[in-house]
Amino acid sequence: MVDREPWRDVELLTPPLPCLVGEGVFDHFAWWPSTTITWRCHAPALVRNARSTDPTGMAFVFSREVLRIPAELARLHVGRASGVGEAMCLAPYAIDDATDELFEQRIEPRSVLWLIADNLDALFWGLHDWSHFHNHGSFEARAATELQCDLAALVWLSLNREVIGLDASDLDSLRDQAARAHEQLCLAQPHTHALPSRWLDTAADFNHLLAQLASPDGELR
Ligand SMILES: [Zn+2]
């Protein structure tokens, strides 16, 4: 009998969302439409924790080197038990550099990066960053930019909830935390373009967005 690896690799569906935050926030929205992301959970089950501003236990691992994007040893972030060996990962402080460099070099994100995350906070932020990597913007309208990427992460978590192992209460907690985070960003930056998070106000509002996107006339494919 062969021992199974203590991690599992899953392809998560990440179909592109329409731009939900208005004109002018992104300069090259969906410059490369997202398709899927390879995700490894290196724990027996995903730890279901609350949203933070500084996720741990995650790494965007490079499948090939990309010049000018800062890299670090992935095992320093996710441990040797993740099976990542000596592979390099995107430096956690360099999400914006990666967003710019992938766009400027027109490199499909999934051709160079895959995600390791063992907790819900890290998986949420990994998917949020996945949205950044496919939608380039100046980041001047910060609240609106972050809202689009939060909505993408929530929609993708919902689409993949069964394979990830999430239930409705996990998703609703995240929705509520994203709504609070958006409010804080709008308060902190009142002079930048901001908009109400009408899709995040209640579970029913978010489910309405999901239904719209999934309808025959919706844009989620
Ligand atoms: Zn962001």
Residues of the chain above pLDDT 70, percent: 93
2 located within any domain: no
When pLDDT is cut at 50, 70 and 90, the band that residue 93 belongs to is very high
When pLDDT is cut at 50, 70 and 90, the band that residue 216 belongs to is confident
Q: For residues 187 and 142, what is the distance between their CA atoms, to the nearest angstrom? A: 12
3 located within any domain: no
205 located within any domain: yes
Count other C-beta atoms under 10 Å from residue 206's C-beta: 25
**How much distance in Å is there from the Cα of 124 to the middle of ligand 1?**
11
Count other C-beta atoms under 10 Å from residue 147's C-beta: 26
Bridge-based pairing of strands 36-41 and 8-13 is antiparallel
**How much distance in Å is there from the Cα of 217 to the middle of ligand 1?**
28
Range of the domain at 112: 8-214
**How much distance in Å is there from the Cα of 146 to the middle of ligand 1?**
5
201 located within any domain: yes
* pLDDT for residue 221 is more than 80: no
**Alpha carbon 37 to chain centroid distance?**
10
Q: What is the pLDDT of residue 40?
A: 97
* Total number of domains constituting the chain: 1
221 located within any domain: no
1 located within any domain: no
* pLDDT for residue 196 is more than 80: no
**How much distance in Å is there from the Cα of 21 to the middle of ligand 1?**
14
219 located within any domain: no
Helix (H) or strand (E) holding 187: helix 168-188
Of the two residues 100 and 187, the one the predictor is more confident about is 100
Q: Is 112 helix (H, G, I), strand (E, B) or coil?
A: coil
